[in-house]
Amino acid sequence: MKKLFNPSSVVVIGVSADPRNLGKEIARNLFEFLYTGVIHLVGLDEGVLFGRKIHKTLDEIDEPIDLAVILTPARTVPDILEECGKKGITRAVIESGGFGEYGGKGSEWSQSLKRIAAQYGIRFIGPNCIGIMNASNGLATPFPRLRNTFRAGGVGIIAQSGGVALSFLNMFDSEQLGFSKFASIGNKLNINENDLLEYYIEDPETSVICMYLESIQDGRRFTDLAKKSSKPIVVHKANIGGYSQHVAQSHTDALANDDMVVDAALVQSGVIRFRDMHGYVDFVKILQISPMKGRNLAIISRSGGHAVIAADAAYTYGFNLPPFNEDFLDQIRQKVRANVIKLANPLDLGDLFDFEIYVQIIEHTLKEPNVDGVLLLQTYFAAIEGETSRQLLREAASLSERYQKPVALCVSTEQVEVSRLFKEFDFPIFNSPERAVSALDTAIKFEKRRELIRQETSKPPKPVEMNQPAISRIIDRSISEGRSPLLHEALHIMRLAKLDLPDDKVILPFGDLDSVMPDFPGPYAVKVIASEISHKSDSKGVILGLSDFDQLKTAVRDIQNRFMKEPSVGYYGCLVQRMAAHIPGTYELIVGGKRDAQFGPLVLVGYGGVLVEVFAKASLRMAPLSDREIDEMIDELPGSDIFRGVRGRDPIDRESLRRTISTVASLMVEFPSIDQIDVNPVWVSRSGAIALDARIFLKVSPTLK
């Protein structure tokens, strides 16, 4: 990636003097941004452009070339890339469209690009993109014409859409944020978001990484990189409607839709995700100042109304407003005019008109050990108090840096003055107290989560005790027969993994029920065992609450008569379970596992039983899991406070539930051939957690194809 962003020479291929030519604009941008390297031009027709000769072929250029930027019709690009390879050019930006996004011939050309790149060791961005930029050397390859007005800074931009990438560039620049690197990655045929993320993490010029993604190619690599990053990673993940279209055969699969998987993975890896651009920009802005190490906030305002609004925001986001020292307040009272405003936190300075005293107040506040940060609200008319207000803001920013505590600056003034502040100031300025407080809150939560992730990364989860060889034998036998484990086999795997289950017996077709049941007292539940029946309740393959042996015999006979007549269901027999005793205060949950194509093994916890999809709210994480992550999953469930015991109910045995979740996570990690697991329902009470039913689906299962 260093070669890509730091070339000593660039060739733009597809240039002409035609006013409609877009390749010409790439060259123009390189000159506009004062690119420090050598610029070569190649086009169909010879000529001169920007004082440079337009060559007809690469072979006419005798000098070495580090980077090729290609914008020609899609059909021509494979041959051009091969010419680059033969000439020793190993880095390229392909901006042409018309490839895999259109199918047909475009897909064939895409495959050709992959083959040629592999043959010559070429790494390229695109196709179907607008290219890359580097603020430190003037590299600017987008084909839209730009002006060199963007400020340099620490924001690294990665965007799958060229239009969004440019919007980011403009948006950040207008909000006082300079960029370091910029990449529009388009179809991601060769270099993807993970390659760039890894480079930006190591890039000394980048301090925060901002991404817009419509897809994530290798979710596990992405999250592994994010966990190790010392830099904030902020993502706007779009294209959230891509739910799986097949009929889900497991509840876990139905509940864990694509966007839920992405959300969980980003949270777990310490990535901040935003769905609105206001929050996105505000968070990136607040990262530019010292972090707030606690939740004690001092509000200093020139307007009583704004002070009330800020106090409400502080309450909403869980900040504390510590009282000011009385001696300090007495000093302020001596400076005010009418002394008609009660001084407290928030500190309403509407009766004080000396901005130099404001500065003294801010400094004194920052010195207080019980203050972690300051929100300064300045209301003014630029024509009257513009210069003195700007000086106040500058000094407040300087004090923030000196005392290493944040001073969030929030102004209420004319829009033209706000625009001036954004152009002149590098220190972030907000125009609403709610947005400033929200950004402070997000930054605190981000730092807390990052610290937890750093601690856990150095301490991998403890292995879960289970009989792996015996589990492997069941799975291997199922795979050899081209099926997933049957009901009784799935339950046996759970026993081998040390989960608690009710006792059960398998009744084969025409089996002698009397010979196997004398030592097996009721009450009973009977469940059909059939390879092609996934949801037993929907197929009327479950009969519960059988109190005696006669009812049991009738139920077994009923299931046998019904399902043995249907060869297509793959009837194997009946499972007779002892009905578990329902303890008051028992909750039905589902614990499931799913193997995602991008993010690998996942674990889900939700409310279970036959209404699992009615209460379709679940919590999801990537496996393996730490105890903290498991506790987070439990606490995320709606109404989870009831698990701690409320209104006379006993708290659940949380350790037993935690172990059930950890066991499913370990099964997903240790046995890659497992595609999905449903343990549903899991009864959780004060006495423990007991799994009443389980299903396991392997990759070889025909129903998963």
- Residue 65: predicted pLDDT: 97
Which residue reads 């909000």 in tokens?
A: 175
Distance in Å from the first CA to the final CA of the chain? 38
d(C-alpha 476, C-alpha 484), whole Å:
10
> Measuring CA to CA, which residue among 689, 693, 660, 699 is closest to residue 535?
693
Per CATH, is 291-457 categorized as 3.40.50.261? yes
Banded model confidence at residue 610, pLDDT cuts 50, 70, 90: low
In angstroms, the CA 108 to CA 265 distance is 33
Q: Average pLDDT over the chain, rounded to whole?
A: 90
- 643 vs 539 pLDDT, higher one: 643
Angle ∠(528,530,533) on CA atoms, nearest 5: 90
CATH of domain 1-129: 3.40.50.720
Q: What is the mean pLDDT of residues 145-161?
A: 94
Using DSSP's 3-state secondary structure scheme, residue 413 falls into coil
| Residue-wise pLDDT tens digits, 244-264 | 334 344 545 545 457 888 999
CA distance 618 to 594: 13
Q: Quote the CA–CA distance of 411 and 397 in Å, as a whole number.
A: 13
Give 600 or 463, the one with higher predicted confidence: 600
Q: Which CATH architecture has domain 587-704?
A: 2-Layer Sandwich (3.30)
H/E run at residue 470? helix 468-480
In three-state secondary structure terms, 260 is helix
Q: With 80 as the cut, is the pLDDT of residue 705 above it?
A: no
Domain 149-273 in CATH 3.40.50.300? The answer is no
Give the pLDDT confidence of 84-118 residue by residue, as tens digits: 999 999 999 999 998 876 667 888 999 999 999 99
pLDDT at site 353: 81
Instruction: State the Cα–Cα distance between residues 187 and 110, nearest whole angstrom.
Output: 9
Whether 149-273 shares its CATH topology with 587-704 is answered: no
DSSP class of residue 214?
A: S
Q: For the chain, give the number of residues.
A: 705
Sorted by where each begins, the domain ranges of the chain are 1-129, 149-273, 291-457, 468-578, 587-704
Exposure b/e, 582-600, CB count within 10 A at least 16 = b: eeebbbbbbbbbbbbebbb
Q: How far is CA 332 from CA 93, 296, 398, in A?
A: 61, 21, 22
Whether pTM > 0.85 for this model: the answer is: yes
